[in-house]
Amino acid sequence: MKICCIGAGYVGGPTMAMIAHQCHDITVTVVDVNETRIAAWNSDTLPIHEPGLDDIVKGRRGQNLFFDTNVDKAILEGDIIFICVGTPTKTFGVGAGRAADLRYIETCARRIASIATTDKIIVEKSTIPVRTANSIKRILKAGNAQASFEVLSNPEFLAEGTAIEDLTEPDRVLIGGECDDSVEKLASIYARWIPRERVLTTNLWSSELSKLTANAFLAQRISSINAISALCEATNAEVDEVAHAIGTDSRIGPKFLKASVGFGGSCFQKDILNLVYLCEHYGLQEVADYWEQVVKMNDYQKRRFYERIVGTMFNTVSSKTIAIWGFAFKKDTDDTRESAAIAVCQNLLGEQAQLNIFDPQVSKERIFEDLGSIANDDNVHICQSAEEAASGAHAIAILTEWDTFAEQDFAKIYDYMPKPAFFFDGRNISDLEKLREIGFEAYGVGQGRPPAV
Ligand code: NAD
Ligand code: UGA
């Protein structure tokens, strides 16, 4: 069997590497129009940082796992074609700022329709609005009368930073489709390493909608606890204690209750906005408003964090240096898409602060690109370590929960900083009491104010 995957990104690369790793008899070819990305997949330095990925790719590459720019050839040869291209939020025209931009999906469908000569199973792995399979089917049908196509929905639930774990032992695999044979063919691939009862099958629309719903529920939990974090700060309650107390209720559960500077990542915001747009499209304004609030609360949380820094530092950070620890949207990834760090840093730069930024995985180029024209060599300094970033800084702000940020020599760092030395932990990974003993004026998210000095 031959699999073709269109899109060699954070989903296409790891997912296909896992299939190749688990099924040596299947030839998997991942194609992309981005030549630099494909070259990186074929090099010693993979284009994405993901724990455990290197070993899997290097173990199968050149054997049954291939990365190529020849999209047409892979389509022609593939029995199963996964579509793993991006589905970002539309930035123009009808639905701008909410609807999914489906142009990459449509390009793939048109390409498949125009060149396929044999029957194929087309798998939507990208996250798409419910009923997209209909559009794909219509394009495929219009293109080539000789070949026939079955369209399946098989959304991906992996999280970055834990992609290999998630792919090895997923809670479930979801396959939606109308043709039992095609569903079974795909299910039997996953069943090589995933217990059969975890391979769920549904109709196409339930599968498409379940993906948007899962992300909306996950993001909603974060916004819910972040909303409570604001109340904790006003009342001296501790949000982590509240999260623990409610999370021990088995009906609520402990996961995704970590208060933070706000969720980031390429998907939560875009998928909720897409859900909001869909609801509006179907005339369900109350439902749309309900879900939109999750994104509004996240914007509020990012703004609140930055305003707390400015407010605490005597209402001005102009010409003060702030050490930014972490720029990725979460630990163990180099991905910065929608990272809360971007908004916080831009706002601080707007207040004329000087930023010393350190992230273990994010490149200088990426940081400057994300910050845009407000950043320059005079106000943003990229550092090689957390300690270097803190040296001479008036404040430290933790924006990504990299483990290393909790393991610093804080007494030494304190000595390097002008006093009062401020500490703002946007991830609640530090021992604030210890920091206060050293002398820091330390704050966490949703943690009451320290006693007035
Ligand atoms: P990505 O931007 O990292 O990768 C997409 C790739 O598709 C790019 O490399 C791009 O060059 C390529 N591409 C676009 N059009 C193409 C075409 N016509 N032919 C060949 N290649 C083409 O995106 P991603 O993060 O991998 O996400 C892909 C999809 O998966 C999205 O719909 C996303 O919502 C969903 N998803 C992402 C994650 C995640 O953790 N990133 C998890 C689950 C689902
Ligand atoms: C998320 C989902 O967890 C995946 O299931 C889904 O497949 C994926 O989106 C997607 O569709 O793209 P991801 O964005 O990679 O995965 O990472 P998460 O672990 O979900 O974290 C998202 C953001 O929420 C991060 O900024 C993280 O720091 C934040 N977060 C997470 C919190 O602030 N608190 C939490 O308790 C959990």
pLDDT single digits (tens) 385-441: 999 999 999 999 999 999 999 999 999 999 999 999 999 999 999 999 999 999 999
Q: Are 256 and 222 in contact (CB under 8 A)?
A: yes
Ligand 2 atom nearest to 221, measured from its CA: 36
> Which of 239, 267, 271 should be mutated for ligand 2, with most atoms under 8 A from CB?
267
> In this structure, which residue's CA is closest to atom 21 in ligand 1?
32
- Asked if residue 305 has its Cβ within 6 Å of ligand 2, the reply is no
DSSP helix/strand/coil, 150: strand
Q: Are 331 and 402 in contact (CB under 8 A)?
A: yes
Q: Are 302 and 261 in contact (CB under 8 A)?
A: yes
Q: Are 155 and 210 in contact (CB under 8 A)?
A: yes
- Summarised one tens digit per residue, pLDDT across range 4-45 is 999 999 999 999 999 999 999 999 999 999 999 999 999 999
pLDDT reported for residue 254:
97
Ligand 1 atom nearest to 11, measured from its CA: 26
pLDDT above 70 for 453: no
- With vertex at residue 153, the alpha carbon angle to CA 152 and CA 157, rounded to the nearest 5 degrees, is 145
How far apart are the C-alpha atoms of 116 and 136, rounded to whole Å?
14
Phi, psi angles (nearest 5°) of residue 326? 100, 135
pLDDT reported for residue 224:
98
171 token code pair: 């809670």
- Asked if residue 247 has its Cβ within 6 Å of ligand 2, the reply is no
Ligand 1 atom nearest to 157, measured from its CA: 43
State the number of CA atoms in the 13 A half-sphere of 321 facing the CB.
18
Q: How far is CA 351 from CA 319, 320, 380, in A?
A: 9, 10, 13
142 token code pair: 């219009």
Q: Average per-residue pLDDT in the chain?
A: 96
How far apart are the C-alpha atoms of 447 and 450, rounded to whole Å?
9
> In this structure, which residue's CA is closest to atom 41 in ligand 1?
10
**34: Cβ contacts below 8 Å, ≥ 6 apart:** 8
- Summarised one tens digit per residue, pLDDT across range 49-106 is 999 999 999 999 999 999 999 999 999 999 999 999 999 999 999 999 999 999 999 9
- Asked if residue 263 has its Cβ within 6 Å of ligand 2, the reply is yes
pLDDT above 80 for 137: yes
CA-based nearest residue to 15, from 28, 2, 26: 28
Phi, psi angles (nearest 5°) of residue 153? -105, 130
Ligand 1 center from residue 170 Cα (angstroms): 20
CA-based nearest residue to 426, from 262, 256, 220, 241: 262
Ligand 2 center from residue 316 Cα (angstroms): 33
Ligand 1 center from residue 181 Cα (angstroms): 27
Ligand 1 atom nearest to 266, measured from its CA: 41
- Pairing status of strand 27-31 against strand 2-6: parallel
pLDDT reported for residue 451:
52
Phi, psi angles (nearest 5°) of residue 177? -175, 170
CA-based nearest residue to 56, from 189, 192, 156, 163: 163
pLDDT above 60 for 334: yes
pLDDT reported for residue 306:
97
CA-based nearest residue to 45, from 54, 33, 56: 54
pLDDT above 70 for 261: yes
- Asked if residue 10 has its Cβ within 6 Å of ligand 2, the reply is no
- The pLDDT of 314-337, averaged and rounded, is 97
Q: Could you tell me the pTM of the whole model?
A: 0.96
